Amino acid sequence: MSVHHPERSPAETAGEGTPTQVRHEAFRRRTFAVISHPDAGKSTLTEALALHAHVIEEAGATHGKASRRSTVSDWMQMEQERGISISSAALQFTYRDTVFNLLDTPGHADFSEDTYRVLAAVDCAVMLIDAAKGLETQTLKLFDVCARRGLPVITVINKWDRPGKDALELIDEVQQRTGRTPVPLSWPVGLSGDFRGTLDPRTRAYTRYRRMAAGAALAETEVFAPEQAAELEGAAWTEAVETAALVAESNGAFELEAFRAAESTPVLFVAAAMNFGVATLLDVLVDLAPPAGPRPDADGTPRPVEAPFSGFVFKLQAGMDRAHRDHVAFLRVCSGVFHRGMVLTHAATGKPFATKYAHHVFGRDRETIDVAFPGDVVGLVNASALRAGDSVYVGTPVTFPPIPHFSPEHFQVARAVDAGRAKQFRRGITQLELEGVIQVLRSETRGDQAPVLAAVGPMQFEVVADRMDREFGAQVRLEALPYTLARRVIAPDPEVLNRIPGTEVLRRADGEPIAVFTDKWKLGRVATHAPEVALEPIGGDLD
């Protein structure tokens, strides 16, 4: 098929590729994130997945030789050393001819706003649950964000090698508290703390796991027919068969449509640290997780994957490399082919944007990207013109929906320590706001020299203070405000809310009036004191 359009510029032509090729590449992409309450084993599973794929793909690799340290740990260490903000980037690996893009999310719940943004760029989420703890605060918040995005979720119950809750109890929790019907695709044989293997409820085959030497990248697995399993495992097998049947009876068989429509969630039982069940998860991702598909634009019209290149920025990161003061914009490719060097149009300004430096970024590792397909993540270096949520395209214009704002719960006023550095102060605050490091709320009463910083997690303030000082040469003094809630105001005159004690109206950079409240009682008073005012939860608001 010819793709040459003489009326187009070389860059546009380069952005096409044959439609069949692009569809094929998109179809074999799985773009996902592993999310969880801290400590559920996200980093352990991320390493296990990458190593698993790597070890299997590398022809002749000696099992057990691959070192866990080399891949992900460097990046983890950087996070620890710096103790502050980290980079969300992507790890790409291949398994069964499928290209996985595993988007990284911060480990600390204080940076959950970054995690929520990453969820705007993936096609599926793997939700990790600690078998001993069940659903925790952050697990529920994340399930909620996924529900708002209509994102399919694979639920993975981890640490089954340790004593924990009962499998049925965990299934029940998922059922009661997530709004999705849990459908197990693997069922543990042996109680938590005695993980022998898993039953596949669909085929009734038994996969037995054996531990390999410490640090090994793979577990030893053997598959048995049900009769053999009964002989091998006795009561543990019978128990597994019976309990799995109970769940199947009440929740039904797995249906792809229901999973993709975010109505049901497949459940797997694993022990990431032992590599038990990791291969099963990879297989489920290959066989069931949605491939990169047409993305709806801001008006809801899907842009086909074979359309000319388009993508949107889901994350900005500055200062990853302090020596170079770089700005990296992470872009999810939505359609077409990305070629390094191509000139994109920045939808927000209509200006051309050159892509001389395009990288895969994972921690310290940077690799130049020459070509990328729908579902892939490209890190554009020196991209200070791009903001989070911005769309870029070649050829037919497109604007993707903005990344939602998330409801802040912590508020502090920022002031320059040295009044003589007001210019640096303003420049720094604006830059950090654009990057999405923090939300900035302003009012005429407070003035430009004392904006209100609004955060989802308090550590965001530390990042601001650190970067203002180091990068912008403007030390800041932060003063906590007693507010805990924010709402968008819809009213002819939002300022009336300023008359209610414990309430204040501020403006976001996009001009939206945002009311902040000390507590829900003050929020409740709006109905009686200013009945003409309507309040709306903010974007991904979680209450």
Residues near ligand GDP (CB under 6 A), total: 17
The single-letter code of the amino acid at 332 is R
DSSP summary character for residue 467: H
Q: Is 159 in the site for ligand GDP (CB under 6 A)?
A: yes
In the bound complex, what is the minimum distance in angstroms from residue 50's beta carbon to ligand GDP?
Answer: 13
Nearest distance, CB of residue 270 and ligand GDP, angstroms: 7
Enter the tokens of residue 311: 């993508």
49: left (phi over 0), alpha (psi -120 to 50) or beta: alpha
The H or E element that residue 142 is part of is: helix 137-149
Q: Which of 158, 186, 192, 264 binds ligand GDP (CB under 6 A)?
A: 158
Copy the structure tokens of residue 89: 């980037």
Identity of residue 300: G
Taking CB under 6 A as the criterion, the residue among 8, 24, 133, 162 binding ligand GDP is: 162
- Is residue 200 a contact point for ligand GDP (CB under 6 A)? no
Q: Closer to ligand GDP by CB, 43 or 88: give it.
A: 43
Q: SS3 for 34?
A: strand
402 binds ligand GDP (CB under 6 A): no
Among 11, 12, 26, 41, binds ligand GDP (CB under 6 A): 41
By the rule CB under 6 A, 42 interacts with ligand GDP: yes
Among the residue ranges 156-164, 339-347, 370-378, 414-422, the one whose residues contact ligand GDP (CB under 6 A): 156-164
Binding segment (CB under 6 A) for ligand GDP, from list 88-96, 168-176, 267-275, 368-376: 267-275
Stretch that binds ligand GDP, among 90-98, 154-162, 347-355, 372-380 (CB under 6 A): 154-162
Closest separation in Å from C-beta 90 to ligand GDP: 17
Helix%, strand%, coil% for the chain, nearest 5: 30, 30, 40
| CB-based contacts of 195, cutoff 8 Å, min separation 6 | 160, 161, 188, 209, 269, 271, 274, 276
Which string of x and - marks every residue 272-301 that binds ligand GDP (by CB under 6 A)? xxx---------------------------
**Does 123 sit near ligand GDP (CB under 6 A)?**
no
Neighbours of 96 (CB within 10 A): 14
What is d(CA 270, CA 391) in angstroms, rounded to the nearest whole number? 38
CB of 143 to ligand GDP, least distance (A): 16
- Residue 161 found at the interface with ligand GDP (CB under 6 A): yes
Binding mask 89-108 for ligand GDP (x = CB under 6 A): ------------------x-
HSE toward the beta carbon, residue 338, CA cutoff 13 A? 35
Which of 21, 27, 39, 149 touches ligand GDP (CB under 6 A)? 39
Q: How far is the CB of 33 from ligand GDP (least distance, A)?
A: 12
Among 14, 199, 229, 271, binds ligand GDP (CB under 6 A): 271
How are beta strands 187-189 and 302-303 bridged, if at all? unpaired
The residue written with tokens 């040469």 in the block is 473
What are the residues facing 220 on neighbouring strands?
Answer: 210
Residue (272 or 489) nearer to ligand GDP, CB? 272
* Distance in angstroms between the alpha carbons of the first and the last residue of the chain: 52
Contact flag: residue 52 with ligand GDP (CB under 6 A): no
Considering the complex, state which of residue 40 and residue 236 has its C-beta at the smaller distance from ligand GDP.
Answer: 40
Q: How far is the C-alpha of 539 from the C-alpha of 518, rounded, in Å?
A: 20
Least spacing, CB of residue 36 vs ligand GDP, in Å: 5
Residues 9-38, mask of contacts with ligand GDP (x by CB under 6 A): ---------------------------x-x
Query: What is the rounded CA–CA span in Å between residue 535 and residue 515?
Result: 8
Nearest to ligand GDP of 34, 440 (CB atom): 34
Tell the smallest beta-carbon distance from residue 132 to ligand GDP (Å): 9
Tokens of 326: 């770089």
44 binds ligand GDP (CB under 6 A): yes
Residue 292 tokens, joined: 């990169």
The residue range among 16-24, 39-47, 135-143, 363-371 that interacts with ligand GDP, by the rule CB under 6 A, is 39-47
Distances (CA, A) of 497 to 140, 378, 406, 500, 514: 32, 44, 21, 6, 10
CA distance 484 to 186: 42
Which of 159-167, 200-208, 325-333, 349-357 is the region at the interface with ligand GDP (rule: CB under 6 A)? Answer: 159-167
Q: Which of 444, 536, 540, 443 is nearest to 490 (CA)?
A: 536
Pick from 462, 461, 510, 507: nearest CA to 486:
507
* Least gap, CB of 76 to ligand GDP (angstroms): 8
| Chain residues that interact with ligand GDP, rule: CB under 6 A | 36, 38-44, 107, 158-159, 161-162, 271-274
